[in-house]
Amino acid sequence: MAKTKLLFITHEMSPFLELTKISEITRKLPQAMQDKGFEIRILMPRFGNINERRNRLHEVIRLSGMNIIIDENDNPLIIKVASIPSARMQVYFLDNEEYFQRKHVFRDNNSKFYEDNDERTIFFCKGALETVKKLGWSPDVVHCHGWMSSLVPVYMKTTYKDDPTFKTAKIVYSVYDNCFGEKLNPDFSKKAVMSGMDASHLVPYGDGSCEAMHLGAISYSDAVVLGGPNTHPEVLKVVEATDKPVLTYDATADFENYFNLYEEMHNEELASLA
């Protein structure tokens, strides 16, 4: 029987970038699932403070060379890869000089939230899906971690819904506590629209606040994971009311609950194809 294919999309992962608890989960969870026989791929941005030499990143020429269009501007996408030898896992990094080659991640050296964090998010989410297409690898389950991956669910359910790479994939979205208090650019929704979409598809993402980004992703996902103990009350209320599968926060999780969720979703997919 073919292995279940599991795609992780995250903005941080240990040991490459450690900002919050997310980096620990996205390091341990993929390995735990690989040990259980899943086929794994991991994608994240190549932020400027990720040391290429120490982490042995190198460009994947066959995947690089695409352009991601945002607000009618072409933005080159460079793909790099690094391995975690102890885990036998590869991580693909999405790079762009304008968006990611900075000394800081989401805020400048004066702690000011970058004005183009909206475009950086759009670039990452579009780029992630295009990269997977170019890999020629069709995931069974796509697990998005945190707000910077929150547009992936809406893109998969609209623009990519009939794409052979993604049309049978299920989407899991993890909500985390660590977020931002600002709002993304007011033109965020207009910039985020892709082919096969219109403005109405971005309505669930509201005003571009972190909570709104979570709510938008949840509305288009097939299952939800609470990744921390302090979920925003508005988000928690929506999660508690949903009829979608939900994994509640468990600080001592051995990841068996994730395994069961992925298997359940994959089996549903197989049943729907039968």
88, pLDDT greater than 90: no
Q: What is the mean pLDDT of the chain?
A: 92
Tens-digit pLDDT profile for residues 213-245: 999 999 999 999 999 899 999 999 999 999 999
CA neighbours within 13 Å on the CB side: how many for 173?
Answer: 24
Q: Report the C-alpha gap between 99 and 11 in whole angstroms.
A: 13
Peptide bond into 15 cis (omega under 30): yes
272, pLDDT greater than 70: no
Output the pLDDT for position 91. Answer: 96
Q: Report the C-alpha gap between 77 and 123 in whole angstroms.
A: 9
Of 272 and 236, the one with more pLDDT: 236
Output the pLDDT for position 214. Answer: 97
Is 5-273 a CATH 3.10.105.10 domain? no
- For the beta carbon of residue 88, count every other beta carbon within 10 angstroms: 11
DSSP state of 90: E
Structural tokens at position 75: 């933005």
65, pLDDT greater than 90: no
Output the pLDDT for position 177. Answer: 87
Domain boundaries, the chain: 5-273
Average pLDDT over residues 179-201: 93
273, pLDDT greater than 70: no
**Residue found by looking up tokens 């985390």 in the block:** 176
Q: Report the C-alpha gap between 267 and 262 in whole angstroms.
A: 8
274, pLDDT greater than 50: no
141, pLDDT greater than 50: yes
Output the pLDDT for position 57. Answer: 92
Distant-in-sequence, close-in-space partners of 200: CB < 8 Å, separation ≥ 6: none
